[in-house]
Each structure stands twice: as C-alpha cells, then as structure tokens.
C-alpha cells in the first residue's frame, strides 16, 4: 500500500501584492468614475453649445449613454467571469476608457470635429454636426461605455484579490 503525502507539493508560494497594488486599483476606479460621471454632468451643455443640438436630442443622447454605461457592467461582468478574467478585462477596459476620453477631448479641441459656433443673433442658421462629427462623438461615448462596462464590475474584486484570492 502506498501512502499519499498530503501537503508536500511543489507548488510555488504565491506572493500577493496587497497594499502595494492598492493605489493603482483605487486610482483606476476613481479616474473611471471621474471620467464617466464627471463628463456626464457636463454633456448637456457641451452638446447644446458646441454641437448645436436641441435640448431634447442632447438629453436623449445623455440618457442613452448613461443607461448603456450602467447596463454594460452586466455584460462586462459576464465576459470577465466567463472568458477573459479580471486582469485582461481591466486592462482592455482601462485602455478603452482612456481612448474614449481622448477622443471626446479631441472633439472639443479640433475645430473640424465639431460644427462651427452659432451666432447669438441668428440661432436659426446654426449648422448641426455632420455625419462624420457625430460618428466621432459616438465612438468616444462608445469607448467610454466599454471602459465603464469592464472597470466597474472587475476593479473592486481585483483589489480584494490582491490580499488573498
């Protein structure tokens, strides 16, 4: 009869990063919240003044963006747990969120990416955004949704894993 030796395996001992990794995780969560939620508060003014949208159109777009960003967390959690894992999901989502903020910033900084400014005396002749400008704007919001969908469900659990999974 052979006796099995229990507890005498050659598995390497895992070193957890613990508090060393926490500033990165808290920073990632904070910047995602500031980026998405902070931007959300200013989008109505941005859409109506810079993109010359009507208030109802701008409000509808903001509500769709907000709802989609909140719903994307369910999809992000499913994909994270089923296919990709927290680390890969967080990496991809962080890059997507950064790219979304970068593209949104470019819509404000580059004059060809938003319509010309309206004259205050002639609001009827305001030119709306072109299809290309709207596509660029929507791609920035889409990237922010992907970022929020991956960061929100995974980041805090990933932080807890740094101590003892």
Cα 94 → chain centroid: 7
Tokens representing 80?
């994270």
The larger pLDDT score, comparing residue 8 to residue 34, is at: 34
pTM, rounded to two decimals: 0.84
Residue spans of beta strands (DSSP E) within 31-117: none
C-alpha 67/C-alpha 6 separation (Å) is 52
Tokens representing 4?
């099995």
The larger pLDDT score, comparing residue 53 to residue 157, is at: 53
Of 29, 41, 147, give the one whose Cα is nearest residue 95. 147
pLDDT digit string (tens) for 49-97?
999 999 999 999 999 999 999 999 999 999 999 999 999 999 999 999 9
Q: Which residue, chain included where needed, has tokens 């004259």?
A: 119
The widest CA-to-CA distance across the chain, in whole angstroms, is 97
C-alpha 134/C-alpha 114 separation (Å) is 8
**Contact, 69 vs 149, CB < 8 A?**
yes
C-alpha 163/C-alpha 19 separation (Å) is 8
Q: Which pLDDT score, from 0 to 100, does residue 8 have?
A: 58
Residue 120 has pLDDT above 90, yes or no: no
Share of the chain above pLDDT 70, in %: 87
C-alpha 108/C-alpha 60 separation (Å) is 20
Residue 123 pLDDT level (bands cut at 50, 70, 90): low
Residue 19 pLDDT level (bands cut at 50, 70, 90): confident
Q: Which pLDDT score, from 0 to 100, does residue 72 have?
A: 96
Q: Which pLDDT score, from 0 to 100, does residue 151 have?
A: 94
Mean pLDDT computed over every residue of the chain: 87
C-alpha 129/C-alpha 50 separation (Å) is 9
For residue 55, the 8-state DSSP code is H
Q: Which pLDDT score, from 0 to 100, does residue 16 have?
A: 66
pLDDT digit string (tens) for 21-54?
788 888 888 888 888 888 988 999 999 999 999 9
């Amino acid at each position: 009869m052979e006796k099995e030796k229990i507890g005498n395996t050659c598995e390497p001992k895992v070193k957890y990063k613990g508090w060393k990794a926490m500033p990165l995780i808290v920073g990632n969560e904070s910047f995602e919240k500031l980026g998405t939620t902070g931007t959300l508060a200013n989008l109505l003014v941005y859409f109506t003044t810079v993109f010359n949208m009507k208030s109802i159109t701008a409000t509808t777009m903001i509500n769709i963006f907000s709802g989609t960003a909140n719903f994307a967390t369910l999809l992000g959690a499913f994909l994270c747990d089923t296919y990709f894992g927290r680390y890969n999901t967080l990496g991809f989502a962080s890059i997507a969120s950064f790219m979304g903020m970068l593209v949104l910033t470019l819509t404000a900084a580059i004059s060809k990416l938003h319509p010309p400014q309206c004259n205050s005396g002639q609001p009827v002749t305001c030119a709306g955004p072109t299809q290309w400008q709207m596509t660029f704007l929507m791609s920035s919001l889409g990237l922010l949704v992907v970022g929020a969908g991956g960061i929100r469900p995974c980041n805090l659990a990933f932080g807890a894993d740094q101590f003892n999974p």
